Chain A
């Protein structure tokens, strides 16, 4: 008899299914994939437009699986209309054929030229920039009351004296990998690919073992020896948050953690050994249009009327401590705020290469940094082998 009821229940379920059959998608709806945790800010910033036009904006958090299979789901018709990505993916996305050119949509003069270079590939623009983010130096003001170092000598001597007096375990807390070490790498004359104002058109010229770097490489070994850099190379910033390191390389995403730890800190640019500024990579977060989008017209309209506005760029960046890509929005940021400090340094940084060859660069470059940190190789030798392997992999002779 119980079974009988089960049967009736199943009939009920059948009918319920009729009810649940999705109605044909209303003509006006677009789907945007954003990074997990950013849904709220995108939803809020799109609400007014949505109400005005009647177009539903579905903001969905990406799954954590690589690019969430976007390059597979798009061509199969299962992708979103728009998605956010960091600009260094531009080359791969274009070569995979999964994005559509936005050259006719983008207002180039609304963004700094380096930002435009970031989302450009093959002389076209592929993404609408929202935010610029880069790493910067954080100084623990309790350990270093004088504040951010003006010169590299400053940094080196402060760190060394704090370490020798036992007040600090290490000088600069950082990851030992390409992205986090780039400013120091730049400082001693290394570079990944030659570029002109952030436009990378020649991947034949690899500077990972440039002449200048080869000459200065032993400096890196000395700094590692003197514990200026932390060779344990863990992804944990606790030496800094516990007041056991005067400096740390941090990004906008670190700010919540620093504030929670309750330390007094200052954000600044990173000094170069040559007296100037050591340049980190700047990254642009941009919105891309899926080539196989269901509703390209509305998506483009949304890009023009919402994503491209200064207000949108400001709203999204305010939520995650990054710096607006839009010039107008950027000008409204208080230069003394944390975001302002990141932005000021970011303005002199170099855009992270957006060519698809970067995938190989990361592999060899990061591996060589790891070899160096673990003591397997001296810095010069590690970079020489990265450079050799990379040139081979890229087919440069």
Chain B
């Protein structure tokens, strides 16, 4: 009995000395990480929609903000969400496919100027796109005169613009991963008579699913976040906006700062993304870390 006790005691002491403070740090950092989220939730259920009176547990609880979000025909949140999803899924999908093709070639084929190609596509995209907004407007406006669905106010041109963006960073991430896949498998397939595209499709793609998921997710979030080029190309007509552009309309101007519906919308937009993040956490972490630690 005594020995068990002492083991228990020792365990307890160990816990107090080595574990307890880790929990304390953990709780502090967790509160920092969750801080805006908690207030976002609280404000979303606070019907007064004011920052100045807002309490952690709202005094006037209710779903008014959510009702407002879906009943406002000038600010149709439902349509914004659909727009955001359509644009982000298609463009992120495009980014992954185009990036994967480029990365496969850069990882598996030996050719002159390989390093230069990769650095070039990485560096080129660091040119600030802000000023290019008016140029893009002019290009898309010209498109629109010839093909209406490629014109301003349509989603297709925006998907194409985003589909080609982030090529550098995605290619780099995907290539890092492809490099970790042993080339022996390709060699074996080659001997069996497989062409380069078959090797890509039948061997690389299945093995690289986790990194595709990560790349897709990061691209998806980046596109959901974009509002500048989006607002220039789609315009600010109520039905054309995305969540990122549209929700900002709630908090413009004095007395017009309507935090209630804004936070309600932000919460609705955050939940699915966050769920995906947590659900795919393992892939995400390994994807990000592999870039950092592999040689």
Which residues does A use to contact B, with CB under 8 Å? 17, 20-22, 36-37, 39-40, 60-65, 68-69, 72-73, 76, 78, 175, 235-239, 241-242, 250-251, 253-254, 256-258, 260-261
Of the candidates B138, B237, B253, the one whose C-beta lies within 8 Å of that of A253 is B253
A17 partner, pick from B53, B147, B253, B255, beta carbons under 8 A: B147
New contact pairs (12) apart from A62-B235, A257-B254, A257-B255, CB-CB < 8 Å? A17-B147, A20-B150, A36-B237, A37-B74, A37-B249, A62-B236, A69-B134, A236-B51, A237-B254, A254-B256, A257-B257, A260-B49
A78 and B141 contacting across the interface, CB-CB below 8 Å: yes
Partner of A256, one of B145, B236, B256: B256
Q: Which residues of A contact B153 (CB under 8 A)?
A: 60
A84 nearest CB across to chain B (Å): 13
How far is B75's CA from A250's CA once the two chains are assembled, in angstroms?
24
A129 to B169, CA, bound (A): 51
On chain B, the residues within 8 Å of A250 by CB distance are 254-255
B236-271 vs A, Cβ < 8 Å mask (1 yes, 0 no): 111000000000010001111110000000000000
Q: Do B145 and A236 touch (CB < 8 A)? A: no
Tell me if A21 and B146 are in contact (CB < 8 A): yes
Determine how close the nearest CB of chain B comes to the CB of A360; give it in whole angstroms.
Answer: 23
Partner of A39, one of B50, B138, B141, B237: B237
How many angstroms from the CA of A17 to the CA of B144 in the assembled complex?
A: 12
Asked if B256 contacts A22 (CB within 8 A), the reply is: no
Counting residue pairs across A and B whose Cβ atoms lie within 8 Å, the total is 97
Q: Which of A78, A250, A253 has the most CB of B within 10 A?
A: A78
Q: Is the CB of A20 within 8 A of B149?
A: yes
The docked-state distance in angstroms from the alpha carbon of A334 to that of B237 is: 32
Nearest-CB residue, chain B, relative to A25: B145
Question: How many B residues, CB 8 Å from partner?
Answer: 35
Cβ A22 vs Cβ B255 within 8 A: no
Roughly how many angstroms separate A135 CA and B153 CA in the complex, as a whole number? 34
Q: Return chain A residues, CB-CB under 8 Å to B238.
A: 37, 39, 61
Q: Within 8 Å CB of A78, what residues of B?
A: 137-138, 141-142
Which of B50, B231, B235, B236 sits near A241, CB closer than 8 Å?
A: B50
B258 CB contacts on chain A under 8 angstroms: 257
Cα of A251 to Cα of B253 in the assembled complex, Å: 11
**Is B141 in contact with A242, judged by CB distance below 8 angstroms?**
no
- A60 to B138 CA separation, bound complex (whole angstroms): 16
12 contacts between A and B (CB under 8 A): A39-B238, A40-B74, A60-B153, A61-B237, A73-B137, A73-B138, A236-B257, A241-B50, A250-B255, A254-B254, A254-B256, A256-B255
List B contacts of A65 (CB < 8 A): 133-134, 228, 231-232
* Per-residue contact bits, chain B 195-206, to A (CB 8 Å; 1 contact, 0 not): 000000000000
Cα distance, A220 to B36, chains bound together (Å) = 38
Q: In whole angstroms, what is the CA distance A236 to B236 when docked?
A: 24
Contact pick for B232, options A21, A63, A76, A260, CB 8 Å: A63
Query: Is B52 an interface residue, CB under 8 A from the partner?
Result: yes
B contact residues around A258 at 8 Å (CB): 255
In the complex with contacts A61-B237, A65-B228, A253-B255 CB distance below 8 A: yes
CA distance A39 to B134 in the complex (A): 22
| Interface: B163 (CB within 8 A) | no
A253 to B151, CA, bound (A): 33
Of B50, B150, B151, B258, most A-chain CB atoms within 10 Å:
B50
Does B119 reach chain A (CB closer than 8 Å)? no
Chain A residues with Cβ below 8 Å from B49 are: 260
Q: Please state if B255 and A61 are interface contacts (CB–CB under 8 Å).
A: no
A-contact bits for B121-160, CB 8 A (1 contact / 0 none):
0000000000001100110011011111111010000000
- Which of B52, B145, B236 touches A238 (beta carbons < 8 Å)? B52
B134 touches A72 (CB 8 A): yes
Q: Nearest CB to that of B144 among chain A residues?
A: A22
User: CB within 8 Å of A: which of B85-139?
Assistant: 133-134, 137-138
In angstroms, how far is the closest chain B Cβ from the Cβ of A21?
Answer: 6
User: Given the complex, which residues of B lie within 8 Å of A237, measured CB to CB?
Assistant: 254-255
* A73 CA to B258 CA, complexed, in Å: 33
Contact at A21–B249, with CB atoms within 8 Å? Answer: no
- Which residues in chain B, 42-63, are within 8 Å of chain A measured between CB atoms? 49-53
Q: Which of B134, B151, B236, B237 contacts A22 (CB 8 A)?
A: B151
Which residues from chain B contact A256 at a C-beta distance below 8 Å? 255-256
10 closest A-B pairs by CB? A257-B255, A36-B236, A238-B52, A254-B255, A61-B236, A22-B148, A69-B134, A78-B141, A237-B255, A20-B149
Nearest residue, chain A, Cβ from B257? A236
Contact with A along B51-83 (1 / 0, CB 8 A): 111000000000000000000001000000000
Chain B residue numbers with a CB within 8 Å of A21 are: 146-148
B151 proximity list for chain A (CB < 8 A): 22
Q: Which of B52, B148, B237 contacts A20 (CB 8 A)?
A: B148
A253 to B249, CA, bound (A): 14
Give the chain B neighbours of A60 by CB distance below 8 A.
153, 235, 237
Q: Which residues of A lie under 8 Å from residue B141 when comparing CB positions?
A: 73, 78
Q: Are A235 and B257 in contact (CB under 8 A)?
A: yes
